[in-house]
Amino acid sequence: MGENNTIRGQSRNSIVTGNKNEVINGINNAIVTGTSGEATADNSTVLGGNNPTDALGKRQSIRVMFGKQTTGAATVASNLNNTAASYFEIPDNTILYFHASCLAVRVGGTSVSGAVGDYWSAIERGVAINKSGTLSIQRERDVIKTSGTTSGWVASAAVSGTTFRVNVRGANNMTLEWACDVKFTQIKTGVAL
C-alpha cells in the first residue's frame, strides 16, 4: 500500500506501506513502513524516518532476531533468524546504534550444576560504524536478571568483516537456547566517513 514502493525479485511474504520503501532482492517476511525505508534482512521490521527526497535507508529503525543453541563454554556467533552463518550486513559509511535484549535458558545437558529452567538476561548496547569498509564497535552490557547456575553465560555484540553479530557463550555440558532481539537506529550517511 502507498506510493512508489518496490519489492525486488525473489522476495516473498513482505508487507510494505508508505512511500518510496524497498525490500531488496531475496528478502522474505519483512515489514517496511514510513518513507524511504529499506529492508535488507529476512524477518525484519523497518521504519523509514525520511522525507521523500532523502536517500533510501538514510534514517531508519530496524528490528531483527538472533538465535543460537550452545552446549559448551566456547564463544560462538549467534545467527540472524537462527539461520547458520547469517549475520546483519552494515552498509559502507553507515552508523548504527544497537540495543539488544538477550535471553538464555537451560533446556538440557548433563552438568550436575544448576538445572533445566535456569536463565540469564542482559541488555547489550552501543554503536557500530562502517567507515568506508572498516567496521568498529563500542559496546556495553548490563545483566538484568538471572536464576540458577549461570556462571560464564554471556552475550556480547561484535563486528566481523562487514557484519554485525551477537556472540554468545554458555557452559560445558549445559544445553542453552539463546534469543537476542536487536533494534538498530541507522544513519546511512552517503559520504565517506
SS3 annotation, the chain: CCECCEECCCCCCCEECCECCEECCCCCCCEEEEECCEECCCCCEEEEECCCCCCCCCEEEEEEEEEEEECCCCCEECEECCCCCCCEECCCCEEEEEEEEEEEEEEECCCCCCCCCCEEEEEEEEEEEEECCEEEEEEEEEEEEEECCCCCCEEEEEEECCEEEEEEECCCCCEEEEEEEEEEEEEECCCCC
pLDDT tens string 149-180: 999 999 999 999 999 999 999 999 999 999 99
Q: Which tens digit of pLDDT belongs to each residue from 85-122?
A: 999 999 999 999 999 999 999 999 999 999 999 999 99
pLDDT of residue 175: 98
Rounded average pLDDT over 61-90: 97
In total, the chain counts a number of residues equal to 193
Of the candidates 20, 87, 26, the residue with the CA atom closest to the CA atom of residue 60: 20
> What is the rounded average pLDDT for all residues in the chain?
97
Q: What average pLDDT score do residues 54-67 get?
A: 97
List pLDDT tens digits, range 31-60.
Answer: 999 999 999 999 999 999 999 999 999 999
Q: What pLDDT shows up at residue 49?
A: 96
- Start-to-end CA distance of the chain, whole Å, equals 35
What's the confidence (pLDDT) of residue 95? 98
